Amino acid sequence: MSEVDFKAIEKKWQKKWEEEEIFHALDFVKDKKAPKGMTSSRPKFYLLEMFPYPSGDGLHMGHALNYTLGDIYARFKRMQGFNVLYPMGYDALGLPAENAAIKVNIHPENYTNKSISNFIKQQKLLGLSYDWSRMINTASPSYYKWDQWIFLKMLEKKIAYRKKAPVNWCSKCKSVLANEQVHDGKCWRHEDTKVEIKHLEQWFFKITNYADELLDKIDELDWPQRTKSMQKNWIGKSYGTEIIFSVNGEKWPIFTTRPDTIYGVTFMVVSAQHPELMKLVTDKQKQEVEKFLKKLKSVSEKELENMDKEGAFTGSYAINPINNEKIPIYAGNFVVADYGSGMVMAVPAHDQRDFKFAEKYGLKIKVVIEPKEYEIYERNGQISEAYTGQGNLIDSGEFSDLENNDAKKKITKFLEKKKLGREVVQYKLKDWLISRQRYWGAPIPIIYCGKCGAVPVSEKDLPIILPKKVTFGEGNPLATNEEWIRTKCPKCKKEARRETDTMDTFVNSSWYFLRYCDPDNEKEIFDKEKIKYWMPIDRYIGGAEHACMHLIYCRFYTKFLRDLGLLNFDEPVKKLFHQGMLHGEDGNKMSKSRGNVINPSDVLAKYSADSLRLALMSFASPDSDANKSN
């Protein structure tokens, strides 16, 4: 029996599929005459995988698993009679490409284009049934023109705005670093250089305007429960009381969910990254605070959570509005600068984090809630841990003996009458900082004029295209092209300068699924009728690690574009599926950074696409993690 030449068979059919364009999705919108006997009565089905970030190494086996799942489902839906939209594109802008290009001394554009070509070649060898006529590349000016257009619309609606924010700064690079570029408090390029925290003017999107709707709609989503829970926690809605403390004669509104413990406040903690911190630092304490600030390793909240809780006395005091006690203010590394006012009231007897901080710095601990069920005092009269349960108030003035939950309401009402507090809702969700002091991103369409200030670029002048000539090394590469920076003010026509910040790469991926519906439209972001036909996405496949950020950002963009009148739906994805993780022979998640990837091209060359696809589907159920050791 002769051997079957699988490669020849695959090559033949892959070529035929491409020549006859059998996977092209039909837009049954304006032209109702469908080719080859197809009719517009077929129901649509929009199937999408999260698009990849193209790297020089091409696909790894985790990609192959994800795309094989999608391809099987796309073919199944076609056989069921659906008009299937199954596109592919590339999330091509961002930090990894810029870093990789610098490392191998290639321009990011050339590096990215070569990577995309490699990806396409491998995906076609896998026999994936994409509609390649709809391919998008976020690094193309024809795509990021619309990123810039959305920015202008957000600016117009006061969703985009500018304010100071803490950033990681390398004095040798003379540049802002992303959190990923900070390794143990040092610059990734200069391991002998400590990262500093600086406050620079940055651009933000006011995603918090949509916090309530983002939260309220979660339960309606047909998504994995764990993902929905993660989004709820990320948004982090909490009900509490805003209490006005006096600090150096100024009012500081402090948010707390525990107004019942206000008599137990023994110190305050202001964020080490707060822009007004040094105004609170006295001359006597300046050296101590500056020494503490030098210990800060990054503005990353994840790193802050894992750090030992440390601080330094500022020399200033706050006045507790309920009893006029004078309370010392410490700068701390565990308070987020833009949560509430960036300062918290510390009640060490009833909060374990505060308790540890108080123990470390020898601060007063005052019990104001008497435990109902167990004793928290040691024999020497000192408490051994914070008590966070229920009980009756003690040493709390006129509120003593009240059950603490009742006391929350009564203390809040008392403060409201005195105009020293009010009931408020607070969110952990923060406005989205989109400024990046890097080259490989969509330029922010703003011009700075000495007379007119920050002026938006006119829509007719979009896209603002990245200049090819830049110098990589110290500082922001865009700032090295003076010819590109110099321009005329759109208002007064005098000499002005372009914004050299680019947008966060998550901007590009927050609406790409809409562009697939109308990828070649040069006149508008998309045809509303085509969007109305194809959207929302019927099935979205991607990793659970994108539960927050990407999957929240794309929901935010959808709601904003809906409010512009461009969309007629509230949510972008009907049903979400998370594929399992593929693990390498070391037992860890397969990733290029770990060096444990298996290249699909090696398997394709030795065996065949069908063999690889069958193997990937046999390791485990699609939503389960799988180990691949050989």
Other Cβ atoms closer than 10 A to 300: 14
Report DSSP letters for 392-405, one per residue.
EE-S-GGGTTSBHH
CATH of 6-148+506-621, one of 3.40.50.620, 3.90.1150.10, 3.40.50.360, 3.40.50.1820: 3.40.50.620
Q: For residue 46, with 0-12 CB atoms within 10 Å meaning exposed, 13-18 middle and 19 or more buried, which class applies?
A: buried
- Higher-confidence residue of 173 and 443: namely 443
**Rounded distance between C-alpha atoms, residue 430 and residue 202, angstroms:** 14
Q: Which DSSP category does 590 fall into?
A: P
| pLDDT tens digits for range 523-540 | 999 999 999 999 999 999
Write down the mean pLDDT value for the chain: 89
Residue 104 confidence (pLDDT) above 80? yes
Give the tens place of pLDDT for each residue, 105-126: 999 999 999 999 999 999 999 9
Q: Are 550 and 49 in contact (CB under 8 A)?
A: no
Can you state the percent helix, strand and coil of the chain, rounding each to 5? 35, 20, 40
Lowest-confidence segment of 167-171, 501-505, 538-542 by average pLDDT: 167-171
Q: What percent of the chain shows pLDDT beyond 90?
A: 66
Specify which residues 542 forms β-bridges with. Answer: 578
Percent of the chain with pLDDT over 70: 91
DSSP 349: T
Q: Which DSSP symbol is given to 326?
A: E
Which H helix or E strand runs over 143? helix 141-156
Residue 475 is predicted with a pLDDT of 80
Q: Is the dihedral of CA 534, 536, 538, 540 positive or negative?
A: positive
* Buried b or exposed e, range 429-457, using 16+ CB within 10 angstroms: bbbbbbbbbbbbbbbbbbbbbeeeeebbb
DSSP-derived pairing of the beta strands 453-456 and 446-449: antiparallel
| Tens-place pLDDT, residues 356-381 | 999 999 999 999 998 866 555 544 45
Other C-beta atoms lying within 10 Å of the C-beta of residue 628: 18
Domain ranges within the chain, ordered by starting residue: 6-148+506-621, 237-427
Q: Which residues contact 559 (CB under 8 A, 6 or more apart)?
A: 210, 213, 214, 570
Per-residue model confidence (pLDDT) at position 305? 65
Helices (H), 177-328: 211-216, 225-235, 277-280, 286-293, 301-306
Contact 259/320 with Cβ under 8 angstroms?
no
- Output the pLDDT for position 79: 95
Nearest 10 degrees: Cα torsion 55, 56, 61, 65:
40
Residues 237-427: name the CATH superfamily: Valyl/Leucyl/Isoleucyl-tRNA synthetase, editing domain (3.90.740.10)
- With the C-alpha atoms ordered 296, 297, 298, 304, is the resulting torsion angle positive or negative? negative
Angle of helix 609-618 relative to helix 6-20, nearest 10 degrees, comes to: 100
